[in-house]
Amino acid sequence: MLTIRPASAEDAAALQSLYAEAITNADWLPDSARDSLCFSEVSLNEVVHVAVGDDGQLLGLVSVQVGDPFIHHLYVAPQARGRGVGQQLLTSLQPWLLKPWRLKCVSLNTGALAFYARNGWREVGAGESDHGAYKVLLCD
């Protein structure tokens, strides 16, 4: 059983831990991406929802810039991957976040690109950033 809910102040340490682990273990990111591993700084003014297991463990997060609407962060804990957590986090946005949704995904992150393609996202652009080449994806 999985619960998707808005993040609370009590989730701060678990959010930080999941984010830092995801960035640290992302071998497709350049070393400079690991310079700032503070989730509260990179998600400032964003709406954050979490996926929590029956045992209360944080299994994933999605962070959204509502005005765009832009999915800024989507991370799933390693032990929860392949169990539909990412898809459920995205589905939970449908009742309150107007479409179309956009996001950027580093081109070397082939696992995430495959996930988004399976879930109906399509490539609408590309660019370069400090983290390398990226694709702009849209879900409408």
CATH of the domain at 68: 3.40.630.30
71-81 per-position pLDDT tens digit: 999 999 999 99
Domain extent at residue 57 = 2-139
Note the helical H segments in the chain: 12-24, 39-42, 85-91, 110-118
Total-model pTM: 0.93
What mean pLDDT is predicted for residues 7-23? 96
Domain count, the chain: 1
Instruction: Name the residue type at position 65.
Output: Q
Residue with tokens 């831990």: 17
Give the model confidence (pLDDT) of 100-115 as tens digits.
999 999 999 999 999 9
